[in-house]
Amino acid sequence: MGSVGAKEVPVLMTPDGRRIDGRRWDELRPIHIVAGPLRQADGSAFVEWGANKVMAAVYGPREVHPRHLQENHRAIVQCRYNMAAFSVDERKRPGLDRRSQEISKVIAEAFDSVVFAEEFPRTSIDVYIEVLQANAGTRCAGLVAASVALADAGIPMVDLLPAVAVGKVAGEVVLDLKKEEDNFGEADLPMAMVPQSGRLVLLQMEGHMTREELSKALDLGVKGCREVHEKMKEALRARYTTTDAGADA
Amino acid sequence: MGRSHRPHRRGDRHDESSPDSGERVLVLPGDQVAGHGWKPGRGTYRVGDRVFASVLGLYQPRPPLAQVVPLNGRYIPKEGDEVIGTVVDVQGTFWLLNIGAPRWAPLHMTGTPWSIEIGETQKYLHVGDAVLVRVESLDPTGRIGVTMLGDDLGKLEGGTIITVSPAKIPRVIGRGASMIQTITRLTGARVAVGRNGRIWIDGPPEAIQRVAESLRLIDDEGHRPGLTERVESYLAATASSADVLMRSTPRSLVDAAPEREGPEPDRSGPEDP
């Protein structure tokens, strides 16, 4: 993505341990989550995560289209992750590409493992993720947005699904890479975790790490996911305590 | 559901949909709601001897049952519910209705007041038509059977349909149908309320507009106290000369002859061919 190689490699880590945007190795970018901004969808969420801006909408459970995908003992989870043409520096060619297909698939599978799908046989839970502005870590931001949207849609599930990317930059294991760190760093490791059990339901890696670095990165990711989880809960509470806390069942 | 024997708070509603007046805590999926000795009720699941919430909602325990009443989500059908559906498909012997539930509901031609020959279903209801039906049967695979045989049921001719959250329908109806009677009395509109959150309104455009606005008020602010007063004052403030006559009807007269809950929907099918 982008024009790697053409640019000079920026200073990714200062001698006193500051990263390109001033963060320490174990700090997240600022995260702001809004639950339920869309009226038409059954559930929705908007996430600003550093310079990422991601909107997610959830529909369902509803009838499955196309029909042959229907499963007669459970719901299926379908996901479409899409990046807007204007989400990156150089215009992205709109529509599905191999990257977005892959991300859609891993996100759908992550949710499939936390949603109580048996409660809605022969239906589909459809998750739409639109990346409006990208700055590394959009699959995690998208997953977080989609998870808040699923809760907002009233879908029964084991837990919210926080996600974060860990990586290796200038020889150091760091939390939540931003674009320059992703482009010029040595490794990128996005992960999603079920906080209730500590189970990982999404784990991918690009680049190289030693065994020790990987284990350090996983610990760091778990810590990051817990912080993201708090932000997700705050957003949902903010929405429902101001408008619906006393609502009838 | 057994009625709780806890004392009701002042102003608490007594219809079956009234929530328990106990503590109501907002919980999110994955929050632990109970420990050892509790059974998982709806909206929860159990791991070991801990019970967690599976949906966003209010925790309303009824010992020994830990349960979470969801605050959002699709309409989940219950047997006996009157719901408003729109026809999405016409088959030889049945229509498929969208009632806002996870699945479409087939309305079989034997469930209508009309005597229909096989293959003539499209003469009676078309795609897009709205009907008031009752949920008759549910099965574990999620199939929903509905019928149009019943007193208030039938095709809804004309009018418009507004959607609110199904969770707010008890508020729309009000205690002893008080809210819906207030609205119909002050606007003169005909209204049919479906348990699935869809509300059919017919009457002069201005009356429809006022009912729709009242419903939006209930949907957005249904949890705040004094809802009936606020709806009434909204309707009084927007009353125009067109329905001054309606409003000037002595209240005692209206109260003496309470309206039926819901409207008198048009039961006539198309003219018999």
Q: Can you name the residues that pair with B39 across neighbouring β-strands?
A: B65
> Is B258 in the A-facing interface, judged by CB distances under 8 Å?
no
Domain holding A223, by residue range, is: 31-242
Per the model's pLDDT, the better-predicted residue between B264 and B159 turns out to be: B159
Which ipTM value was assigned to this complex?
A: 0.90
Euclidean distance between CA atoms B195 and B206, whole angstroms = 25
List the CATH number of the domain containing B30: 2.40.50.100
Closest CA to B190 of B234, B225, B152: B152
pLDDT score for B227? 83
**Mean pLDDT within A153-157:** 96
CB-CB neighbors (< 8 A) of B70 in chain A: 154, 249
Last residue of a domain, one of B118, B138, B156: B156
Residue A18 belongs to some domain of the structure: no
CATH number of the domain enclosing A233: 3.30.230.70
Last residue within a domain, chosen from B72, B103, B125: B72
Sign of CA dihedral A33, A154, A44, A39: negative
Residues from chain B that touch A155, judged by Cβ atoms under 8 A, are 55, 73
> Among the listed ranges A39-43, A95-99, A125-129, B264-268, which one has the minimum average pLDDT value?
B264-268
**Given CB atoms, is B226 within the 8 Å cutoff of chain A?**
no
Window B:61-120, CB contacts with A under 8 Å: 69-74, 102-104
Nearest residue in A to B16, CA atom = A249
CB contact under 8 A, B43 and A156: yes
Q: Do B26 and A62 touch (CB under 8 A)?
A: no
> Contact A163/A154 with Cβ under 8 angstroms?
no
Q: Hey, are the CB atoms on B30 and A155 less than 8 Å from each other? A: no
Range of the domain at B227: 160-256
Output the CA angle B198-B203-B205, nearest 5 degrees: 95
Phi, psi angle pair for A121, to nearest 5°: -60, 150
Provide the β-strand partners of residue A31: A49
Tell me the C-alpha to C-alpha distance, in Å, between residue B29 and each of A55, A109, A114, A168, A205: 21, 18, 10, 33, 28
Helices of type H across chain B: 169-173, 178-187, 205-221, 227-238, 244-247, 251-256
Cβ contact A248–B222 (<8 Å): yes
Between these two residues, A113 and B3, which has the higher pLDDT value?
Answer: A113
Looking at mean pLDDT, say which of A232-246, B46-60, B162-176, B258-272 comes out highest: B46-60
Is residue B61 located within the same domain as residue B93?
A: no
Residue B101 above 50 pLDDT?
yes
* Residues B169 and B127 reside in one and the same domain: no
Measured distance CA(B32)–CA(B130) in Å, rounded? 42
Helix (H) or strand (E) holding A3: none
φ/ψ bin of B54: left (φ > 0), alpha (ψ from -120 to 50), beta (otherwise)? alpha
**Does residue B125 belong to any structural domain of this protein?**
yes
| A25 found inside a domain | no
Share of chain B above pLDDT 90, in %: 60
Q: What is the pLDDT of residue A59?
A: 97
Does B3 share its domain with B67?
yes
Please report whether residue B267 resides in a domain: no
Of A60, A196, A244, nearest to B71 by CB-CB distance is A244
Q: Is residue A193 part of a domain?
A: yes
Average pLDDT rounded to a whole number, residues A84-93: 96
Residue B43 contacts A where some CB pair is shorter than 8 Å? yes
Q: Token pair for residue A90?
A: 């150089």
Query: Would you say residue B194 lies in a domain?
Result: yes
Q: How confident is the model at residue B16 (pLDDT cuts 50, 70, 90)?
A: very low
Q: pLDDT (tens digit, 9 = 90+) per residue, A169-194?
A: 999 999 999 999 999 999 999 999 99
CA–CA separation, B173 and B175 (whole Å): 7
Task: Tell me the CA distances in angstroms from B99 to A131, B81, B164, B192, one per residue in order.
Answer: 32, 11, 13, 14
CA dihedral A63, A68, A74, A77 (to 10 degrees): -70
The answer to whether B55 faces chain A, any CB pair under 8 Å, is yes
Report in angstroms the alpha-carbon separations of A96 from A132, A179, B35, B178.
15, 22, 46, 53
Q: Which has the closest alpha carbon to B157: B83, B262, B267?
A: B267
Q: What is the mean pLDDT of chain B?
A: 82
The total domain count for chain A is 1
A5: in domain: no
Name the closest residue on chain B to residue A196, using Cα atoms.
Answer: B30
User: Does B269 map to a domain?
Assistant: no
Measured distance CA(A47)–CA(A86) in Å, rounded: 17
Number of structural domains (chain B) is 3
User: What's residue B256's pLDDT?
Assistant: 37
Q: Are residues B169 and B144 in the same domain?
A: no
When CB atoms are compared, the residue of A195, A243, A246 closest to B30 is A195
Nearest chain B residue to A116, by CA: B54
* B172: nearest CA partner in chain A: A248
CB atoms within 10 A of CB A22: 8
Residues of chain A that touch chain B, judged by Cβ-Cβ distance less than 8 Å:
42-43, 60-63, 72-73, 75, 116, 120-123, 151-160, 194-197, 233, 236-237, 240-241, 243-249
For residue A168, the model assigns a pLDDT of 97
Considering the domain architecture, whether residues B186 and B211 belong to the same structural domain is answered as yes
CB contact under 8 A, A236 and B58: no
Distances (CA, A) of B4 to B61, B62, B81: 11, 8, 23
Q: Residue B42's closest CA among B16, B75, B70?
A: B70
Query: pTM for the whole thing?
Result: 0.84
Return the residue in B56, B98, B103 with the most chain A beta carbons within 10 A, the one to mutate for interface testing.
B56
Q: Does B162 touch chain A (CB under 8 A)?
A: no
Let me know if residue B270 belongs to a domain: no
Confidence of residue B4 (pLDDT cuts 50, 70, 90): very low
Q: Are B103 and B143 in contact (CB under 8 A)?
A: yes
A4, A96, A99, A105, B5 from A102: Cα distances, Å:
22, 10, 5, 5, 54
CB contact (8 A) between residue B54 and residue A195: no
At position A248, the amino acid (one-letter code) is D
The pLDDT tens digits for A121-152 are 999 999 999 999 999 999 999 999 999 999 99
Q: Among B105, B130, B156, identify where a domain stops.
A: B156
HSE, side-chain direction, 13 A CA sphere, residue B92: 2
Q: What SS3 state is found at B8?
A: coil
Q: How would you classify the pairing of strands A199-203 and A187-194?
A: antiparallel
Work out the percent of chain A whose per-residue pLDDT is above 70.
94
Indicate if B167 and B232 belong to the same structural domain. yes
Q: Residue B207 domain-assigned?
A: yes
Please indicate, yes or no, whether residues B148 and B170 belong to a single structural domain of this protein: no
Residue B237 pLDDT class (50, 70, 90 cuts): confident
Average pLDDT on B203-222 reads 89
How many whole angstroms separate alpha carbon A32 and alpha carbon A57? 17
Residue of A nearest to B171 (CA): A248
Closest residue on chain A to B17 (Cα): A249
Residue B11 lies in a domain: yes
Shared domain check, B166 and B150: no
For B21-68, the three-class secondary structure string (H helix, E strand, C coil) is: CCCCEEECCCCEEECCCCEECCCEEEECCEEEECCCEEECCECCEECE
The confidence score (pLDDT) of residue B1 equals: 38
The shortest C-alpha distance from B47 to chain A (Å) reads 10
